[in-house]
Every structure is written in structure tokens, then in C-alpha cells.
Amino acid sequence: MSLIIKNVNKTFTNFPALKDVTFEARSGEFIALLGPSGSGKTTLLRLLAGLDTPNAGEISFEGENYLKLNPRDRRVGMVFQSYALFRHMTVAQNIAFGLNVRPAKERPSKAEIKSTVERLLKLIQMDDLGKRYPSQLSGGQRQRVALARALAINPRILLLDEPFGALDALVRKDLRRWLKRIHHETGVTTIFVTHDQEEALDLADRVVVLKGGKVEQIGTPLEIHSQPSSAFVFDFLGSANKANGHIKDGIAHFDGFSAPVAGAANDGDYTLRFRPYEAHLSRTGAGIPVTVTAVLPAGSNLRLELKGTDGALFETQHSHGSEAQGFSVGDTLRLKPERVYAYA
């Protein structure tokens, strides 16, 4: 049983925002919708939540046609980038909101609501902060409250639209770990929208890459990372070095050297791509002639910026202690990809 999205189309006054979007989320799965600005991520979330309707296509959850259900009956929890907490309500009142506004005959008792709020405050590790107002919380804490409020209604699907987008990098990382744990504990089917590839690969069971309203690739983080299906996905997932070469019998040939090709490619001329961490630098031997323009720290690695004789820019990454540590700005070197990706 799962969330099924089938041939969904959405057009805004002649502009197609979603084109034939099809994928499934297994019950309890964590899906990241990854794509650049304008690729249709929020539009799709709004359709799932029932805030808008598609022009064509099907959306169902566990066999139930969601397009025939009004938004309230879909039991969908949503968290947006902007906190959207009620400023005049305490943290506890915010969390209880979705339960308090239910019609009398569906509303849990006061005691049940109180115990749900207490359980959720524990879950978000804010047991002692129930009486505070949103203005008395940090950005990260507010997003945790927003998530608790979304979980209070016991949602069947959780929709998260760039929930950490407005927070600084360190808080984001912290909340990511925290969200993973919450997902593990609650097991709610989750659709997480982001344009941050690192966030998507780190959090999701599977990633759906969107481009211009179309699904470009679906796969596990490992599949998306190691087998990008198109030049777009390759470039979107991280730094891409590009060099012209020729493929013959599955081997890429450059001026004076060759490199293996990841995946299958027909013979012919290509713009070949390779990652900064899949390249070797040396003072002599075969390779693309380059000059070092910068040596920079990159976490536990060393990042080198390089310029080719024709002005092309390249980037490489090496572990500390590798030969690259001995290179400095102005050195002329040879750059050799360990493997390359070819897209028609």
C-alpha cells in the first residue's frame, strides 16, 4: 500500500508546471523531491495536500482516491519554510491546534489532547517549553514546534516544504539528524521538498529529481549519486568538471591519455564530465595541462581550483596527506580523470 501519483499534470494559465509526473511512495517511505527553483516541487505538494487540483492524473493513498477527498479528510500534515506558527498561542496551544479545531464529535477529550501535546513536546525535545510563545524560541525550535503541530493530527502523510530553508547551515545539519530520528520513530510516509542536493541525499530513502515540471530521475541516494541519468542530474548533484573527448569501444580518449566511462555510451565526440574527487593530479605525465589558481580547505579534504590552457576551469578534491598537499598556486600540473560520465 502506498501513495500513488500517476500522470499528474498541472497548468497555470497556459504554463505547464507539472508534466505527467508519476511515482509511488511506499508506506513509511521518506521521499525527497529535489529540483531547482521553479521545477514544480511546491506545486506537487499543494496537490497532495488538496490546496489545489491537478488538470489531469491520479493521486491515491492506500487505495483511496485523494482527489475525491477534501483536504481535511486527507489527514496530511504540512510544514513550510516560514514557520507559520500562531504568534498569540503558546507552543502547547500551537501543537494542539489541529485537534482543537476538529468538529465536536471527532475532537479528542481535553485530557487526550493534553497527553498528545506532552508526548509530542518530548518527541521534539522541548518538554519544558510548552508555555513559551513563538517569539521566545529560536528558528530551529520553531520548526520543531511546526513539525509537532503537523504530527498532532496523526497524519497519514507528512509534507515538508523546505522546512529548514530559512535556518543557518549548522542548525540545518542538526535538524536533519533530528528529523531522521523522528521519521524513524513515527514511520509516517514523508515527502520532503528541497533544492539542496546534500540534504536530499542525506535524508531520503529515495530521491525524485524534478526538472521543468517533469521527473528526471528516481532512485536511492546511492543510485542518484553514482548513476546520474542525465547531464542535468549530474550537474545538479555537485561540481562537474567538463572536457571534450572521444569515446571508442567504451573508453574515453583525450589528447594523449584515456579514461574508463561510467555506464554505457555510443562511440562519438562528447563533452565528458567528471567529479572533483574522481581525478588525479601530477607534476608530470599524461593529462589535461592545468595551472593551480587556488588551494582551499573543504571539510576534511583539500580543494584545488585549476585553469586549463584554453581558460576552462576545473576543480579537484583530495584527502589531507595526499600528494596534492604539496601543490601551490601557480604550479603547472596534469589533470587526469579516473572515470568520466558521457551524456548524449
Ligand X SMILES: Nc1ncnc2c1ncn2[C@@H]1O[C@H](COP(=O)(O)OP(=O)(O)OP(=O)(O)O)[C@@H](O)[C@H]1O
- Contact residues for ligand X, defined by CB under 6 A: 12, 15, 17, 35, 37-43, 195
Q: How far is the CB of 10 from ligand X (least distance, A)?
A: 8
C-alpha to C-alpha distances, 242 to 177, 252, 294, nearest whole angstrom? 34, 13, 18
Task: Encode burial over 203-232: b for 16+ CB neighbours within 10 A, e otherwise.
Answer: bbebbbbbbebebbbbbebeebbeebbebb
Least separation in angstroms between residue 68's CB and ligand X is: 23
Distance in Å, CB of 120 to ligand X, minimum: 28
Contacts of 279 (CB under 8 A, 6+ apart): 241, 314, 316, 335, 336, 337, 338
Nearer to ligand X, 41 or 149 (CB): 41
β-bridge partners, 217: 209
| Residue 56 CB, nearest approach to ligand X (Å) | 16
Closest separation in Å from C-beta 45 to ligand X:
8
Q: Measured from the CB atom, is 42 or 94 closer to ligand X?
A: 42
The dihedrals phi and psi of 127, each to the nearest 5 degrees, come to -50, -40
- Residue 245 CB, shortest distance to ligand X, in Å, is 34
Which of 41, 183 has the CB closer to ligand X? 41
Chain centroid to Cα 108, Å, comes to 36
Q: Nearer Cβ to ligand X, position 5 or 279?
A: 5
- In degrees rounded to 5, what are phi and psi of residue 255? -70, 100
Closer to ligand X by CB, 213 or 245: give it. Answer: 213
Mapped onto helix, strand or coil, the DSSP state of residue 280 is: strand
Determine which helix (DSSP H) or strand (DSSP E) holds 117, and give its type and residue range: helix 110-123
For residues 8 and 117, which CB has a smaller minimum distance to ligand X in the complex? 8
Residue 329, C-beta contacts closer than 8 angstroms, at least 6 positions apart: 292, 293, 294, 295
